[in-house]
Structure 1
Amino acid sequence: MKTIGLPGGTAWPSTLEYYRYLNQLAQREFGPRHSARLLLKSIDYAPFIDCYGTDWPGVLRLFEPELAELFAMRPDCVVVCCNTLHRAIDELADRWPTDVPIIHIVDETARVAIDRGYDRVLLLGTQFTMENGYYAGRLEAAGLTVDIPAAEERARIQHIQSAISAGHTPNDAEAYFQHLLSRHANCDAAVLACTELPAATNAETSPLPLLDPLTLQCDAAFAFAVDR
């Protein structure tokens, strides 16, 4: 198996899910005692959050040296453990080795959505992701129609996401998302474009099919790592 590099800690609860899921894939592939070959570079995420919405160049300045340290460890591919930071990946693309692919979370999500026959998707994520246009624009460029929640919905989603990032899932989070998704029944599916949101949703009872970019990104990275 090739080695997957993970810039994580962004935030740490979802990084645990990346680690868990990739190791589960390795066990399914190789047997119960096996683990995935991973390099985890844990980042202090608070300074990044302080820059979102006010100082995007500051995000780039913070992220570039963290990624440089990870690439210096020579992973075979990279999985960025954060939806929002993929915008930074695109803007820093010319700084990294061209022979080390970065498995792009938005592109994998768009590919799977189209493969499943979805035309219109509801974009859920941090307030920054829902409002800055990057994620929606990249999905639309792939051929999807993207709906964005209303302002009051975006604020509530951000409140829930912030709590999960701090290690606490609000008791009413799942019920809120059930209600939210039922109000957007014109969509074919919802994109959980924040790696914390799967902790607040239930695919089995969701009014809409859910696209979890975290698992889709990991599936693609693992397929690359085992030459599938």
Structure 2
Amino acid sequence: MKTIGMIGGMSWESSQIYYQRANQLIKEKLGGLHSAKVILLSVDFAEIAALQSAGQWDKAGKIMAQAAYSLQLAGADLMILCTNTMHKLSAEIEAKIQIPFLHIADATAAAIKTAGIKKIALLGTKFTMEQDFYRGRLANMHQLEVITPSETGRNKVHDIIYQELCQGIVKESSRQEYTAIINQLIEQGAEGVILGCTEITMLIQQQDVAIPIFDTTELHIRYAIHTACAEVATTLDK
């Protein structure tokens, strides 16, 4: 079994899901007392969020790259970044390390294509929904048609993530707002929806919507576990 390096803390609520699911999946796969070989480096999210808001991505990139390098030195065999938004800085991370970096969008796209879906809705932070680093990768590398909410909808989705979910707050009213936004995207032809922020799964589950959801947290960690166990991760089947 290979050792997974995890860059976490953005937020810690979602990072604990990564750690928990990694161990659950290893136990399901190997049984007995087996657990995942993980090295977790958790950053201070307040510092990162401030840099995001100020548009100081170069400084954030240096923090991410140094975190990745530290994990490599500590013995990680492969790397995952436990957040969608900070994949904006994946190039900075990959330039700093010599071990495989498993991109969350690639894990997600594999599952979407396996499901035969072509037109996909994307929810996440405004950075993820509006900038090309994520939706562009889905479109250009994986030939998926990606749609996002209206500007008002994007603002609502973003604010709920940062003001509630990243602080461990889950409100029924916010769940209803998210489902209403997803229903609007269904009317626009969405065949599925990417929960493109690792916190959204705290709020939305499959039973809440009429189209397939793609939980990036679950898909990403499954991809990592398949790779860590030296399996060919061409699908993300259970």
TM-score normalised according to structure 1 size: 0.94
Is 1:31 paired with 2:34? no
**Contact 1:174/1:202 (8 A) holds in 2:** no
Secondary structure of 2:5's counterpart equals strand
Cα distance in 2 for residues equivalent to 1:14 and 1:92: 20
- By how many angstroms is 1:91 displaced? 3.4
Cα distance in 2 for residues equivalent to 1:153 and 1:16: 28
Query: How do residues 40-79 of structure 1 correspond to structure 2 at under 5 angstroms?
Result: 40-53=40-53, 54-79=55-80
**Contact 1:84/1:129 (8 A) holds in 2:** yes
**Contact 2:94/2:101 (8 A) holds in 1:** no
**Contact 1:178/1:207 (8 A) holds in 2:** no
Which runs of 5 or more residues in structure 1 are unaligned? Answer: none
Which runs of 5 or more residues in structure 2 are unaligned? Answer: 232-238
**Contact 2:193/2:213 (8 A) holds in 1:** yes
Residue in 1 that maps onto 2:236? none
**Contact 1:181/1:207 (8 A) holds in 2:** no
Query: How do residues 134-153 of structure 1 correspond to structure 2 at under 5 angstroms?
Result: 134-141=133-140, 142-153=142-153
Residue in 2 that maps onto 1:212? 215
Secondary structure of 2:81's counterpart equals coil
Secondary structure of 1:222's counterpart equals helix
Overall identity of the aligned pairs, in %? 28
Residue in 2 that maps onto 1:85? 86
**Contact 1:11/1:165 (8 A) holds in 2:** yes
Which of these residues, 180, 200, 204, is aligned with residue 201 of structure 1?
Answer: 204
Query: How do residues 64-143 of structure 1 correspond to structure 2 at under 5 angstroms?
Result: 64-97=65-98, 100-141=99-140, 142-143=142-143
Q: Which stretch shifts more, 173-182 or 40-49? A: 173-182
**Contact 1:10/1:81 (8 A) holds in 2:** yes
- By how many angstroms is 1:205 displaced? 3.1
Per-residue CA distance 1:85-131 (angstroms, 9 max, x = gap): 1121223422211xx21111011111221121111111100111111
Per-residue CA distance 1:183-216 (angstroms, 9 max, x = gap): 1111011111110001110212312210111111
Cα distance in 2 for residues equivalent to 1:18 and 1:32: 20
- By how many angstroms is 1:144 displaced? 0.4
Cα distance in 2 for residues equivalent to 1:68 and 1:93: 9
Per-residue CA distance 1:133-154 (angstroms, 9 max, x = gap): 2111000011000101111111
- By how many angstroms is 1:32 displaced? 5.0
Q: Which stretch shifts more, 135-144 or 44-53? A: 44-53
Kindly provide the amino acid, as one letter, of the partner of residue 205 in structure 1: D
Would you say how many aligned residue pairs link Structure 1 and Structure 2? 226
Secondary structure of 1:46's counterpart equals helix
Q: Which stretch shifts more, 150-159 or 170-179? A: 170-179
TM-score normalised according to structure 2 size: 0.90
**Contact 2:4/2:228 (8 A) holds in 1:** yes
Is 1:221 paired with 2:224? yes
Given the superposition, is the C-alpha separation of residues 48 and 21 from structure 1 closer, same or farther in structure 2, using an over 3 Å criterion? same
